Structure 1
C-alpha cells in the first residue's frame, strides 16, 4: 500500500488512520511495516510530496 500527500491530508495522517482501522478490524493483530519513504520536491509547483510505502502483516 502507498500513502501520498494531497491537498486534503498528509501521507502520515492517512497512514495513522489506516493503522487505527487495521488494529480495530484485526483485534490488534495487524502489524504495519514501513518499506520505503520518500519526500519529493516539485520545483514547478513549489511543493513537496511525501510517499510512504507499507505492508500489512497479520499474525
Structure 2
C-alpha cells in the first residue's frame, strides 16, 4: 500500500504512473487559479502542457 494520504492505494508501477500524472494536473490547477497573475510565457507553457496531457 502507498503512504500518506494515498495509503489505501497500492504502491507499484500503476501507483507511480498515477502520481506522475497527478503532479502536472496539480500544477495546472494552480496556474488556472492564479491565471490573472501569470505572465504570458507561463500561460503559453501551461497551454502546451495541458494539450500534451490531453493527448495521452
Same fold (TM over 0.5): no
Q: Which TM-score band (shorter chain)?
A: 0.3 to 0.5
Q: TM-score, normalised by structure 2?
A: 0.34
Instruction: Give me the TM-score of the superposition, normalised by structure 1.
Output: 0.32
